[in-house]
Structure 1
Amino acid sequence: MNLDKLINMMNRSNQHKYLYHFTDEANFPSISAKGLISKERMRAEGWWPPLATGGNPLSHDLDTYRGIDPYVSLCMTRNHRMKFLAQKDGRLPNPRYLAIRPEVLKIEGTRIAFGVANANDVEILPVEEAILKLDVEVLYERTEWSDPTVQQRLQAAEKLEVLVPHTVPVELLAGVF
């Protein structure tokens, strides 16, 4: 499968037509004005941290250490564990998922992490290479999610992160969930 075929599959999917970014409603004004911005760029422009952030100080330090902070992190589904932890810990009092058009995958330098990107030993590949390893069936086709094997595959896919360098432009934002 190549990138165009993946984007077409996503656009036709009844499961997930978008990639997603979780954030808090408090951040909507800056996102509407500038798009989604990496932590590195927000620091350089003097407005880090934003009003509400999903990460904690340890995860922010790990992002810098592992070289993830120049990227905007996106999820493959609207069920990312880190969103629930941030909400539970009170870091995201009004969490929402932003829908991102799949064409974001065409931004040069975009990568896919096969797990939480700042964790040790997580494989991070350029999109073109990562596509060959994605479980597109469980993500974009109708599967029997009550089957324990399929559920395990889905849980693994929900941990993936798409890493977009620097900015996700406003025009690629498709909606809010």
Structure 2
Amino acid sequence: MIDGYGKSGEPDKALELFHQMQLRGVEPNYVTFLAAISACGHGGLVAKGHEIFESMERDYSLKPRMEHYACMVDLLGRAGSLHQAWDLVRGMPERPNSDVWAALLNSCNLHDSVEMASVAANELFKLNAKRRPGAYVSFSNTLAAAGKWDNVSQLREAMKIRGVLKDTGSSWVGAEIEA
């Protein structure tokens, strides 16, 4: 329910439910924390998200997992706090995985940070060059927004050489037909 409220634009309800759960003695688990941090990200509640993230280990002895770090990077990135997101990634106790780098790359794309996007994209490409075609597209969009068309061409060429194919888009349209 916390996740549902957060994703449907009701972060305050999500966090109230999270708080009520704790008041009733129900300890949050990894999934609950992820939903609460995500709700903060969707609501732009940076301080609250950071507080919840910090409370995982401090209050519940739950060491944040990669998905929690990725969610925090997304939260900070959505809010435009790219340098805080960068510091979080660089200070991680373990090597960041592709989800963390993808969250940083997407944040850089939102805020036109080409230099940081370049680092995130290169780390992401090293981890899994073919399995994340969206990373190439996101980085290409960041480069294009900055007017770096030569770099866009080079990246598209690298995609061809590496055999990376863009995901094909599809959609369903329903229609009622009277006979």
Identify, as 1 or 2, the structure richer in helix.
2
**TM-score, with length taken from structure 1:** 0.24
**Which structure is richer in relative contact order (CA contacts within 8 A, separation 6 or more)?**
1
**TM-score, with length taken from structure 2:** 0.23
